[in-house]
Structure 1
Amino acid sequence: MLKHVLHLVLILLFSGCSFENQSFEVDDIHLNWELLSNEAIPKQSHEAKFTLTNKGENELEPGWEIYFNTIFLSLSPSSHSEEVIIEHLSGDFFRIKPKADFPKLGPGESFSFSYSSDNFLVKNSHSPHGIYMVQKGEDEGKVIQNFHAKPFKLHDLDTFADGSGLPIPTINYLYEENKNLKLLSQKEFSPIIPTPRSYQWVEGETSIRGDITITTSSFERSATILKGQLEKIYSGNVLISNSGQGNIIFEKKTEPISKEAYELEIGEVITIRASDEKGAFYAVQSLLALMPIEAFSSPVSEFSLNRILIQDEPRFGYRGLFLDVARNFQSKQAILKLLDLMAFYKLNVFHFNLANDEGWRIEIPGLPELTEIGSKRGHSKDETDFLWPYYGSGPDQENSPNGSGYYSAADFVEILQYAHERHIEVIPEIGVPAHSRAAIIAMRKRYHNKMASGDETGAREYLLEDFDDRSEYLSAQNFRGNAICICQESAFTFYEKVIDELLLMYRAANVPIKTFHTGGDEVPKGSWSKSPICEKFISETPDLHSIHDLPNYFYTRINNMFKAKGLQTAGWEEIGQREVLVNGKETARPNPVFADEGFRVYAWNSVAGWGGEDMAYQLANSGYEVVVCNSSNIYFDLAYNMDPDEPGHQWSGYVDLKTAWRTVPLNHFISNERDMYGRMIDLDALASEKVILTETGKKNIKGIQGQLWTETVKGQEMMEYYLLPKMLGLVERAWANDPKWTLIKNHGERKEAMEEDWNVFANAVGQRELPRLDHLFGGFNTRIPKPGAKVENGLLHANIETPGLLIRYTKNGTEPDQNSPLFTAELPIEGKMKIKVFTPSGRSGRSITVHK
């Protein structure tokens, strides 16, 4: 009997070993995705197919789960296969689950399943990504390395959109867009960007060789900065002296001029005149911008500058750039380099979004859970210990450079000091009451840990949610449960704790802070509607009658908190709005309650046709301080155009350099000719229906700001690509006065004048800015555009949106490189020709192919 039992045990042991050895490996999975159909009209939709293939030697049994990310999919996509479920979890995060009748996949077998969604797919980057699998009985997510999404081409998109009128950027379309551009001589466009208030070329050149001596008795800080920058581009000695004659002289202006104003004169010597360090600093940036471009690639031993007199000051006191690092993280070094770029182009406010639903990015001493939980993304069942891997950040929370990461208090102090040295104000944003899911989850973890240790008081101290809240809502980014419970005191205790710790960091940096941005945008309808805590709080508070009264209560509390700390309350336009009935429809209008409270509102929602085109002006006329942030012109996360290989969003249209450049901050109604669908806008009708700025309102427009939200931005190189060169359009509008064409009433005449002015600016970018940006501060990953082209009478014609860059071509279908012939005039079309745009240093964009 014992002999038989032992024999059975050995069989089971060996069977177990055999089963273990034959376990399925995720690397044996091949998963393919392809678009089956894509409709723009009459109703937007697309259909796509996944194909799962077993390339291993063992069976793949049901029970697995596949996770993926995409923002561009219906929340309830229609599965055409009964064997699988595709379900939305949160944000852009989806799961594919096999049903019980899903077949086992033997070696070499495949299974395909398709789905449809009610949106038109425009970008290859909008297809499913971040793919990983969790096998049956396991908790670990493993990346499916053998995933392939079949791309669709520009000509495919053109076919999909046939008859829709959408602005598909074919080579002919681009050629038409660029047809009014021509190459100008160097003195036909501004010597620097942003364009100075006035400048005058003077005959002659000033040559510099040998030692450079900077003489100053007033602006040592700016002189030191200039010395440091010159030492990077000039091989000779650069000295600073407090007396005597130098090559470069700083002089303090005695007559009153604004703090940011300056004069720069290049004559026998170089003279900088200003009344304040800020003006002297901007003069330094202008002088550096006049330096030979080749000096930025390799230090020169001598150089010559054309003589010129520049008198300059900015149009707006607020010239801002917003960066979101919550949705996808950027390293400290990337931030410091960005600050250098901002300073070079005279931007002076860095609006720093440090927290959102998808991540908390700043250490808060005393609340370690915010970074231990809220700064990490990876695979988990329920987000207990870290957030889900939004935006394709992957299942491994310890190896997710875009999904996981935060700035220590010391990092933040360094960023503050670096910005302050460059006359850049850093305005932090911690958004409330919505966009707070990362904080809510982190404080939930703190609550449970404290309760487990018997500390109920500590558990409730910073709690941000009502556990019994049954409110049903979905945020703009498809999150549930992302609004903090503002009906409990712990929400204000938490926010004040965060504010106080950030203020301590400013003090440690010895940097002042005047304004704090509270977010305040996109609070989902339905928030708090089924919260027992809120129901009780409203019933016990005399001034509150319904949940509609809660926003005023909340911002009254926040404003009083900020006043006590010497801070100005700022937020997106929603903090200055209320909903009123207009023709039976709820419509946003300025909220009179806070109009005289000194709020600063950031007006963003200017999408043509959505009704908010004049919201900035409504708010300014009502008394609010306003920063113009038009989504349709200066939201830099919007793709450059509809090319399927151009990454980015599309919800407010498309933004390229020209779109940003043509922004008219005080008359937004002429900032665009077409809406996001390519349809002509009736400018007269639009303006007649909207509010225009009063003289008081004009005084309340404090400036302009570009935005880069980062749902689709993965890493520093992508950040730079999204920003450059379109950021230069923002730079121009923030500093320079409105061009003369903005005052022309006749639309046709204004367009003609605008195109002439655009040619001037485009030449400045193509001939000088983009070539320099290849090297400035180590070089930037600027976007190099595709050329436009057409074939006419057997001849190939080509052009470019920024004259001065180089077009090269091949005749044999191979990819052009920097040794390929230059395209300088139309050519006979021969077979399959490829053309591509290059910078002088050899960086290039994507090529186009032209057939005979």
Structure 2
Amino acid sequence: MPDDLIPAPRTRTAGDGGHFTLTPATTLDAGPGTEETARWLRAELGAATGLPLEPAGSGAGPGGLVRLRTEADVTAELGPEGYRLDVTPDGVQISGGGTAGVFWGAQTLRQLLGPHAFRRSRTDPGRAWRVAAQHIEDAPRFGWRGLMLDVSRHFLPKDGVLRYLDLLAAHKLNVLHFHLTDDQGWRIEIERYPELTGTGAWRPRTKRGHRASELWDERPHGGYYTQDDIREIVAYAAERHITVVPEIEMPGHSQAAIAAYPELGNTDAVDTSALGVWDTWGVNPNVLAPTDYTLRFYEAVLEEVLALFPSPFVHLGGDECPKEQWRASETAQRRMREEGLRDEDELQSWFLRHFARWLAARGRRLIGWDEILEGGSADAPDSVAESLSGDLGPDSGGALTRTGLPQGAAISSWRGYAGGIAAAEAGHDVVMCPEQQVYLDHRQDGGADEPVPIGFVRTLSDVYHFEPVPPQLAGTERAARVLGTQANMWSEVTEDRQRVDYQLFPRLVALAEVAWSPLPPPRDRDFAGFEERMLRTHLARLDAMGVGYRPPSGPRPWQRRPGVVGRPIEGQPPIV
């Protein structure tokens, strides 16, 4: 069938012939719980088609009927995000396992109507809005299908965030991992600590390109989201069945917070009063002090974060935390002695374990980068078997695994598969996002025209052949610990929305199909078929949505950044 659905559905069969045509007389019948999807359909399809999709009266009228329902048998067979879509000459029925399933079915209907259904106004008033008769049954492979968006290195205004939520929804992605704080900027208003944004949201200048570059943008850069902005973003996402997972970095990547409140830093090892918001890139030596003041400060920050984000997960970073200042700090060394910690790695584990338990006591779950597995704990179990013994469920907050983390803590595995494998074997849930496969800030081609070439070359084909469940877990009960996958979009060298578009698309489309569709093992995947669907239809959808993607032929002249130094990785061993 020529409609080229992406992500590919589980099953799709043609009907007995004919088609359904939406007309001004077509009505929309929204069953209980589907009212938000009905509003979304009227807004999106109404803008593109000019059709009102008036509420249905008693039964179908002369223009046919679009019916939305949640149904228990769909829930039982396909789960809450699954749906059935039936098109006959009389109308369309979308039956979801839950309200999310109905919404994903509505997204499929929009794809079936053609690329012009993605525009914000009518371009051809005489167009016939036809859908071929067919039956689709569909459900996602993974429950976590996400994008990590870094707004700390380069701030993305609120309207840009809302736009990316629409783009995630169009591809059936359901998690926005929102990287809100880092050395280069603090982007969320915390009412108790106004200087986090008053000082921490702004830097005087910005390095252009890799940190080895001699180029600078001498303009001040910054911005932040008010709490009302955050509420709007979270509500907008929820209407599209997307969970926003906030990330508040600790104890590393914290110079912006220390610049705002110097007492957060290791004041007996460095003059923190001289620190400003960092203007370059890399791993920063200025980390949080392991003091009671710091713990209480970040508890207060997180109290406001929890009030804004209903997500069951809160990401606390935990990555790239240099230990030199802790080694030089008598305060940090005294804390280690008091807590019976063997080294600074255990001190970091102690720090994050404190907040993992704090979150668990409030019904939330810590998720962090795979470094949070390091350090362990003297009171942790000695074996996986011991850590999983007893009558504790996977969301338990109190029991420790052998990592020293509460059992409910989860891991974002970014340094390859190893951290995710270790986490799953220790009883933790995992989101697979290895740098070598799904860091979309990395270059898409080895050519000299790629803008600010960073890191590994990862083509559209490479992303399409990524497998979130590593072979060491496949076929075992530990495979169920893989919640899903996400692409990570760091923004050191993506200074605006145009650059973010270029890095994300079309590779994020490939990741969406990997996360949703029941694809075969990588060696058997039909990349040629996927690419054909992209070229024949999906790029036109991206065009309609105004996405500045990388063309298959390479960057357009205005997408290049000649002379801005990147970070090509030369002489690296093959990535397995």
Shift of residue 324, structure 1, vs aligned partner: 0.4
Q: Indicate if the aligned counterparts of 1:360 and 1:374 stay in contact, CA closer than 8 A.
A: yes
Counterpart in the other structure of 1:551: 348
Instruction: Give the share of equivalent positions with the same residue, in percent.
Output: 30
- Change over 3 Å in CA distance of 1:200–1:391 after alignment to 2: farther
Distance 2:182 2:311 in 1: 21
Change (3 A) 1:713 1:305: same
* Aligned residues of 1:429 and 1:516 also touching (Cα < 8 A): yes
Tell me what 2:105 maps to: 283
Q: State whether structure 2 residue 441 is matched by structure 1 residue 637.
A: yes
What stretches of structure 2 of length at least 5 have no aligned partner?
272-277, 378-399, 561-576
Q: Which residue, 527, 543, 550 being the options, matches 1:783?
A: 550
Kindly indicate whether the alpha-carbon contact (under 8 Å) linking 1:319 and 1:348 is maintained by their aligned counterparts in 2: yes
- What is the aligned counterpart of 1:349 among 141, 164, 175? 175
| Aligned equivalent of 1:650 | 454
Q: 1:209 — aligned with what? A: 23
The 8 Å contact of residues 353 and 405 in structure 2, kept in 1 or not, is answered as: no
What is the CA deviation profile of residues 452-509 of structure 1, one whole-angstrom value per residue up to 9, with x for unaligned ones?
A: xxxxxxxxxxx212222169xx9x95454321011x1111111111111122334xxx
Alpha-carbon separation, structure 1, partners of 2:342 and 2:370: 24
Cα distance between partner residues in 2 of 1:377 and 1:543? 39
Residue ranges of structure 1 left out of the alignment (5+ in a row): 1-185, 381-387, 398-402, 445-462, 507-511, 581-589, 607-612, 669-690, 743-749, 788-835, 838-842, 847-852
Larger Rg: 1
Q: What secondary structure, in the 3-state scheme, does the structure 2 residue paired with 1:575 have?
A: helix
Shift of 1:336: 0.2
Distance 1:601 1:649 in 2: 28
Shift of 1:423: 0.7
User: CA, structure 1 residues 560+236, in 2 after alignment: closer, same or farther (shift >3 Å)?
Assistant: closer
Q: Which residue number in structure 1 is paired with residue 8 of structure 2?
A: 195
Q: Displacement of 1:299 after TM fit?
A: 5.2
Distance 2:125 2:171 in 1: 23
How far residue 738 of structure 1 moved from its aligned partner, in angstroms, is 2.4
- Partner Cα separation in structure 1 for residue 116 and residue 284 of structure 2: 53
Residue 535, structure 1, aligned to residue 333, structure 2: yes
Aligned partner of 2:227 in structure 1 is: 409
For residues 126-137 of structure 1, the aligned pairs below 5 Å read none
Matches within 5 A, 1:120-159: none
Residue equivalent to 1:663: 466
Q: Deviations over 1:349-405 (max 9, x none)?
A: 11000000111111110211111111111159xxxxxxx9x99673342xxxxx311
Match of residue 217 from structure 2:
394
- Amino acid of the structure 1 residue aligned with 2:94: I
The correspondence of residues 568-583 of structure 1 with structure 2, limited to 5 A, is 568-578=365-375
Q: 1:515 aligns with which of 302, 310, 313?
A: 313
Q: 2:429, 2:483 within 8 Å by CA — same for their partners in 1?
A: yes
**How far apart are 1:641 and its partner, in Å?**
1.1
Deviation of 1:332 (Å): 0.4
1:330 alignment partner, SS class = coil
Q: How many angstroms apart in 2 are the aligned matches of 1:579 and 1:645?
A: 45
For normalisation by structure 1, the TM-score amounts to: 0.57
The CA deviation at 1:319 is 0.7
Q: What secondary structure does 2:222 align onto?
A: coil
Q: 1:706 is paired with a residue of what secondary structure?
A: strand
Amino acid at match of 1:259: P
Determine the structure 2 residue equivalent to 1:773: 542
Once residues 458 and 55 of structure 2 are traced to their aligned partners in structure 1, the CA distance between those partners, rounded to angstroms, is 44
Alignment of 1:238 with 2:41, yes or no, is no
Distance 1:254 1:371 in 2: 47
Q: CA deviation at 1:192?
A: 1.0
Q: 2:484 is matched with which residue?
A: 703
Query: Shift in Å at residue 313 of structure 1?
Result: 0.5
User: Hey, what's the Cα distance between the residues in 2 that align with 1:319 and 1:288?
Assistant: 20
Alignment of 1:360-375 (within 5 A): 360-375=186-201
1:465 to 265, 280, 300: 265
Displacement of 1:692 in angstroms is 4.5
In structure 2, C-alpha distance between the alignment counterparts of 1:365 and 1:636, rounded to whole Å: 34
Q: Which amino acid aligns with 1:334?
A: G
Distance 1:392 1:371, change over 3 A: farther
**Is the 8 Å Cα contact of residues 318 and 352 (structure 2) preserved in structure 1?**
no
Map 1:598-747; keep pairs closer than 5 Å: 598-606=408-416, 613-651=417-455, 653-667=456-470, 691-693=472-474, 695-739=476-520, 741-742=521-522
| Partner residue in 2 for 1:567 | 364
How far apart are residue 845 of structure 1 and its match? 8.2
C-alpha deviation, 1:251, in angstroms: 3.1
User: Against the structure 1 CA distance between its residues 195 and 393, is the aligned structure 2 distance closer, same or farther, given a 3 Å change threshold?
Assistant: farther
Q: Using a 3 Å threshold, how does the CA distance of structure 1 residues 545 and 216 change in structure 2: closer, same or farther?
A: closer
Q: How far apart are the structure 1 equivalents of 2:118 and 2:408?
A: 44
User: Which structure has greater strand proportion?
Assistant: 1
> Cα distance 1:252–1:411, how it changes in 2: closer, same or farther (>3 A)?
closer
Contact 2:111 2:117 in 1 (8 A): no
* Aligned twin of 2:83: 262
Shift in alpha-carbon separation, 1:479–1:737, aligned structure 2, 3 A:
closer
The answer to whether the 8 A contact 1:430-1:519 is kept is yes
Q: By how many angstroms is 1:225 displaced? A: 1.2
Please tell me whether the aligned partners of residues 357 and 406 of structure 2 are also in contact (alpha carbons under 8 angstroms).
Answer: no
- TM-score, with length taken from structure 2: 0.83
Q: 2:305 aligns with which of 497, 502, 505?
A: 502
1:649·1:712 contact (CA, 8 Å) conserved in 2?
no
What's the secondary structure of 1:272's corresponding residue?
Answer: strand
Distance 1:379 1:234, change over 3 A: closer
Matches within 5 A, 1:817-832: none
* 1:143-184 Cα deviation digits (max 9, x unpaired): xxxxxxxxxxxxxxxxxxxxxxxxxxxxxxxxxxxxxxxxxx
Report the AA paired with residue 605 of structure 1. R
Once residues 558 and 219 of structure 2 are traced to their aligned partners in structure 1, the CA distance between those partners, rounded to angstroms, is: 34
Alignment-mate amino acid for residue 418 of structure 1: Y
- Alignment size in residue pairs: 513
